[in-house]
Amino acid sequence: MPEPEKKSAWAQIGQYASLGVALPAATVTGYFIGVLLDHWLGTDFLYIVFLLLGIVAGFVEMYRVVSRNSG
């Protein structure tokens, strides 16, 4: 079985650096979707639900990047 091609160090650094943007972006996006839905539906709890979903989505993406690069 051929060994998978190794990525350069700069490509790996770029992928890990993108996590610095992806995690907060997912969190903020989830929060604002929740706030908009709260405003539209007249509720006051959806922002928390979507904030947590955004945090989970950010961590899932972090896990995917780390597991893809670890081997």
Kindly report which listed range (3-12, 13-22, 23-32) carries the lowest average pLDDT score: 3-12
Please provide the DSSP assignment of 31-61 as one string. HHHHHHHHHHHT-SSHHHHHHHHHHHHHHHH
Q: Is residue 58 part of a domain?
A: yes
Is 64 part of any domain? yes
30 in a structural domain: yes
Is residue 60 a part of any domain in this protein?
yes
Q: Is residue 3 part of a domain?
A: no
Q: What is the pLDDT of residue 1?
A: 52
Determine the average pLDDT of the residues in 17-33: 93
Assess contact for 44 and 50: CB atoms under 8 A: no
Instruction: Say how far apart CA 51 and CA 40 lie, in whole Å.
Output: 17
pLDDT at 68: 83
The pTM for the full model equals: 0.80
Number of domains in the chain: 1
Provide the domain limits for residue 59: 22-70
Domain membership of residue 7 (yes or no) is: no
